[in-house]
Amino acid sequence: MAKDLVLGIDVGGQTTKCGVVDAEGNILAQCVIRSDDHTDATEFVDSLSDALHPLIEKAGAEGRIKGIGMGAPNGNYYTGEIENAPNVAWARNGRVPIAKMLQERMNGIPVTLTNDANAAAMGEMLYGAARGMKNFIVITLGTGVGSGIVIDGKVVYGHDGFAGELGHTCAIRDGRLCGCGKRGCLEAYTSATGVARTAQEWLEAGEDKDAPSLLRNNVKITSKDVYDAARQGDNLALRVFEYTGRILGESLADFIAFSAPEAIILFGGLARAREFLEEPIRKAMNDNVVSLWRNKVMLLFSPLKESDAAILGAAALAL
């Protein structure tokens, strides 16, 4: 008898990654669609369902999909809704009942939703750096900064489904305006967007104005521009990563005091800049943590491909 399969879907601010997954965690087929091409939730869900049907056919999984798991920014496990997700254009204001909408378009296949960082945490616990751990935190560094907190082997959801929004804790009091409407959020400094903002602000303020920089003539700087410049030894770019790592490390020290994790795992596109971020993060974390935990909590970088971890974690909701 053919084994049951599930779909895992990771909704990001720019792209949405989908995969057909079996019970052993093998991804049989994948596809990617744009998230940022849509300003209307109905259009996005229509585009998503249009992509899923041929994906199922490609995997030879017709009639075998028993459930769909989805991770999304501000995804609520309890309600199946995305609520006021600042980095998703079609979910920025109000509630989107995305689990119900997708289930209707997928002929009634059950859809379970969670926060994207919670999905990444589940992926790490089942298949990645957190295998065998029961107490850890996953920090996702992408368009925004998300977090999945696992205590005693269970993802923390809180009473309303939104526990663990560590990206919106205050890193710099009265600092930059964040997409959520607050000022000084960790996300405004240590996301990919935050890295680009730091470089842009420093250049506009005249930082190192007499020193050459590969970033100086960029009309619109991206985090990739900063990374590429750092790899070529650009002093400004290197200082941007040192600044970013220090801010993140200081915040991680506070997070340790909350749940005493065995490890903090960094995941996402910006985590690929490990060569520039790891040392300042680790130093700032241990310099600022209570001595009880100094040099005790592991700082790890996800060994999983970014798309695989998110898809596998989301799929775990439906297994």
pLDDT 10s digits, 52-71: 999 999 999 999 999 999 99
Q: Are residues 158 and 179 in the same domain?
A: yes
Indicate if the pLDDT at residue 2 is higher than 70.
no
- Exposure class string for 239-278: b at 16+ Cβ within 10 A, else e: bbbbbbbbbbbbbbbbbbeebebbbbbbbbbbbebeebbb
Cβ neighbors of 44 (< 8 A, separation 6 or more) are 35, 38, 90
Q: Are residues 158 and 289 in the same domain?
A: yes
Predicted pLDDT of residue 182: 95
Flag whether 228 is in a domain: yes
Sheet with 263-267, side-by-side order of all strands: 154-155, 145-151, 136-141, 263-267, 298-301
Q: Are residues 248 and 152 in the same domain?
A: yes
Stretch 125-152: mean pLDDT:
94
- The CATH number of the domain where 91 resides is what? 3.30.420.40
Using 50, 70 and 90 to split pLDDT, how confident is the model at 12? confident
Q: Are residues 157 and 185 in the same domain?
A: yes
Q: What's the predicted TM-score (pTM) here?
A: 0.89
Predicted pLDDT of residue 183: 98
- Residue 189 or 117, more confident: 189
User: What is the extent of the structural domain holding 211?
Assistant: 133-302
Quote the number of domains for the chain. Answer: 2
Flag whether 128 is in a domain: no
Predicted pLDDT of residue 196: 97
Q: Are residues 311 and 267 in the same domain?
A: no
Q: What is the dihedral of CA 264, 269, 271, 273, to 10 degrees?
A: 180
Q: What is the pLDDT of residues 207-227, one digit of tens each?
A: 777 788 999 988 799 999 999
